[in-house]
Structure 1
């Protein structure tokens, strides 16, 4: 097989060749230069951003005896063997197909032996998130007590699926999506080296279609080169990527914002006749509207050359539609894009979409906005009048402060504003709450706190979970001030994210004051009929009932074993 794909031929062999990840590559080079090499690394990020390539370069650099400034020489026997994949001391494993306990145990056993040729034995485990729970536990033992001269490099596109026990024992590097400008520059360099002809606009189409992945960009470029006989043309790039020409996009946008439905439908027919992909068309249109919005805000926010349009075009387009109108267009586009994912008739959705976009009434939106402004102005005027009346009462001899003013002063003196408790959400959680869920949550609560930043962690110092269900948590606060701060921020979302990472499921988080929790719980039991209303006695408690049955069973067994005289029951 003589021909090799571009992404294989032009795979980075030095850190400086890795595109768009300068911070990561410089950090790795500095670690090699200063000999501060860790035993385990995690490379996380989207596909095609250089994770595996960086891992192989790192394996070469730590073992190269002629490395300079942290870069491998790529000339010595070790470097060439690693590049060819023939060095036994650098082992690359695909966790998607080797995800069992036995495979990881085999790695753990072989890692104990010293490297045969290189200075370090390097294990590169790709798609590590595919490992089973047992395999992760087997790998954890090795990461806790790593053998000498062994380095593990874990690569993944889904770091949230990796257990926290593994994450805490590795140095993590997050690879980011590569910018279209960096992808454009890299493709231009490759084509210049191969002496191929190309159009800059065609390269921009490919760079935007790659969505931040260098490998995807080179794969698309390979297709275009094959299609157009080693000449990268704009029309061929549009055809291969399924994108829409800027000329058609510009005409379509102008027609819908000017309410010209028949003309817009004709333009849509031209787009469909060219075999354009419906999903790609909507993505291109959203990107097109986004560029106009940014240009309206400030022309410096976008690189006009990368869009395929001119400044004059943007000036005309930005004057045709208001920002509010374009916000509505993006909302409709997102909705239709979600609806047409599984349809076999995208043309119908696109035609309906065209009519909907053409019928957006910007003037009506302005009327709604003006009406809302007038209502707000009326409300503010009423508040001013009330305040003026209060001032007059206070200025009168012997005048007393209204109760509302006194209450406001008390709140100002204490610095605590009342927090509204959403009882409906609390009751929804209590309906399915169990004692075991609460115990499990209390056990994992320290891990949840460790995942929060210090500011949020300090808010939870005087709090604790008091009820839990499979999909919800009730957290009580001893301090009213901390409860107020927690209720107005995004603390609940952060706790939910932490619980989702640990348990794999989302849980709704509700905050309540500790002083009111007994009454809230009592009201819930009464509302659900757990009290005998005539005698006022509690019938059952759904939160404690499973635990009570278990306790009765244990008590019975203990009585049978030791006798009732020697058994004493005490509450914790």
Structure 2
């Protein structure tokens, strides 16, 4: 072919040419210089980060006739033969198209033969995760103990799909995504070598769009250079990559902060008419607002910005926005991006979210933190009002008692203290059982969940204290809450209905304030104390086992539990 793509022409031929993977290349060079060559290697990482290139460089380095500091010379016949694929001792296999067990058995049968020309026979298996389970099993023993003249190099973008038995038999090297700056430096070197003029911002844009892959970056650069005329411009890079210019991003950001939905929709449709993809637009918007937040937090971190270039307009926007606004916008855009992945109408989602963002004025945009603070302030105000009511009730209570004692009437309009129905409570206590109380307590949380918020709030400081087949006593911490609950007919009706469904019998809710409950309970126990002390008076004869135990250990050491 007369023309080769840039990523093929500029494929690394030495370890020093592999960009952004120094932790891998340095280790391999040291191992080669010290003669510590492993029988199997695993290269894993994202696409376009140099895995296959590093594998070929390693194959040349172990077989080079004149190695230099762990680097191949690229001048001897073996280095040239491996580079152009003419030497049969370096075998490259695509596991995607040779995933069966028969192909691996063929390799297993041929590894025992000595290399023809080189010192080592090197097998480079690309996309090794595509092999079947049977193929992995066939490769297992050979990979663990191959002949001394064989080296296996496995490359994959999905190491989690490789069995752990294979991984444990290899030296693993994880290739990282290449930084945008390193990609831009490499493209700058290539364009300078070919005497191609360019704009620096165009290289930065292509490097960011490549997302850490050198091959993707060089492919985009190849297209952009072919599209451009005398000079590679930012506009050329924008058209080729489908990215949004910073000018348009600035317009969208201004329309949001100024609450101008019409302008934001007009800008969006201008971008769509240029052929921009909605998913690309929202991706650029998220990155742009991320840069805006980063610059606003620390203006000295310009080198960490991924999408934006700091100019006068960008600085003006940074002053216009509040951090809470940017947090809210990024959260909304991220939600829109997730929803756009599962719809056939991505453009509509983007339009809706832009209108939603630009309709909210600056002073009405609240972050989740501010919403929580407002909610807490409302709760504090409500609690203060309740505390004031309780204080008034406590102050008025002694006055009412003194006036009652003297035969005087309390002041008109003053609420009477709640008086619990003692007869009903004692009737429930007389027939109460621990099993019934346990049933109510174990289902109490579920009962509260079924209530409306206003009703469940009445039971915040309440708990069931006794239950029989016909009634349930609920203790309230404050008189006012007990009075509000028991005077609420709707609340009482709903609670009676839920308790009836729970017991499968007609059950009535009875409320009692905490201070009155203590008096009623003590009075009930006093009345029935004789019955408790001497069960033989009014109860039938006890359990024979208990009587026998009483004879053996005595009354004082015996403790009977229900």
> 2-side partners of 1:377 and 1:53: how far apart?
65
TM-aligned CA deviation for residue 265 of structure 1: 1.4
The 5 Å alignment of 1:56-67 reads 56-67=56-67
User: C-alpha displacement at 1:359, in angstroms?
Assistant: 3.1
2:533 counterpart residue number? none
The partner residue of 1:370 within 359, 373, 392 is 373
Q: CA deviation at 1:286?
A: 0.7
Matches within 5 A, 1:12-411: 12-229=12-229, 231-303=231-303, 307=307, 309-341=309-341, 343-360=343-360, 363-365=364-366, 367-372=370-375, 374=377
SS at match of 2:58: helix
- What do the CA deviations read for 1:158-211 (whole angstroms, capped 9, x no partner)? 000000111111111110111110111100100000001111111111111111
Counterparts in 2 of 1:263 and 1:131: CA distance versus 1, 3 Å = same
Give the whole-Å Cα distance in 2 for the aligned partners of 1:38 and 1:360: 62
What's 1:550 paired with? Answer: none
Give ranges in structure 1 of 5+ residues lacking alignment.
Answer: 382-422, 424-572
Instruction: Give the 5 Å matches for 1:416-495.
Output: none
Q: Secondary structure at the match of 1:276?
A: coil
Q: Displacement of 1:224 after TM fit?
A: 0.9
Maintained 8 Å contact 1:286/1:330: yes
2-structure distance, mates of 1:88, 1:341? 46
Question: Shift in Å at residue 3 of structure 1?
Answer: 0.7
Checking the alignment, whether the CA contact within 8 Å between 1:304 and 1:310 is kept in structure 2 is no
**1:92–1:378: structure 2 CA closer, same or farther, 3 Å change rule?**
farther
Structure of larger gyration radius: 2
Instruction: Report the CA distance between 1:302 and its aligned residue.
Output: 3.5
Instruction: Quote the offset at 1:306 in angstroms.
Output: 6.3
Contact 2:114–2:121, Cα closer than 8 Å, also in 1: yes
In 2, distance between residues paired with 1:123 and 1:379?
75
Structure 1 residues 246 and 36, CA gap change in structure 2 (3 angstroms): same
SS at 1:152 equivalent: strand
| Alpha-carbon distance, 1:70 to partner | 0.7
**Separation in 2 of the partners of 1:375 and 1:117?**
84
Unpaired runs of 5+ residues, structure 2, are 385-441, 443-562
Contact 1:143 1:169 in 2 (8 A): yes
Deviation at 1:341, TM superposition (A): 3.1
**Secondary structure of the equivalent of 2:249?**
helix
**C-alpha separation between the residues in 2 aligned to 1:238 and 1:326?**
25
- How far 1:107 moved relative to its partner? 0.7
**CA deviation profile, 1:11-55 (whole Å, cap 9, x unmatched):** 000001011111111111011011111111110000000000000
User: Cα deviations across residues 484-515 of structure 1 (Å, max 9, x unaligned)?
Assistant: xxxxxxxxxxxxxxxxxxxxxxxxxxxxxxxx
Q: How many residues align?
A: 382
Label 1:361 to 1:138 Cα distance change in 2 as closer, same or farther (>3 A). farther
Q: Which residue of 2 aligns with 1:388?
A: none
Aligned partners of 1:206 and 1:220 also within 8 Å: yes
**Conserved in 2, the CA contact under 8 Å of 1:45 and 1:174?**
yes
Q: State the TM-score, normalizing by the size of structure 1.
A: 0.64
Report the Cα offset of residue 317 of structure 1: 1.9
Distance in 1, Cα, partners of 2:284 & 2:271: 12
Q: Distance in 2 between matches of 1:352 and 1:27?
A: 52
**Equivalent in the alignment of 1:408:** none
Q: Measured at CA, do residues 271 and 138 of structure 1 come closer, stay the same or move farther in structure 2, by a change above 3 Å? A: same
| C-alpha contact (below 8 Å) 1:43/1:153 kept by paired residues | yes
Residues 288 and 308, structure 2, Cα contact 8 Å, conserved in 1: no
**Structure 1 residues 373 and 27, CA, compared in 2 at 3 Å: closer, same or farther?**
farther
SS of the residue 1:318 aligns to: helix
Cα distance change, pair 86–165 in 1 and its aligned pair in 2 (3 A): same
- Alpha-carbon contact 1:81-1:87 (below 8 Å) kept: yes
Moved more, 321-330 or 54-63: 321-330
Query: Post-superposition shift, 1:232?
Result: 1.3
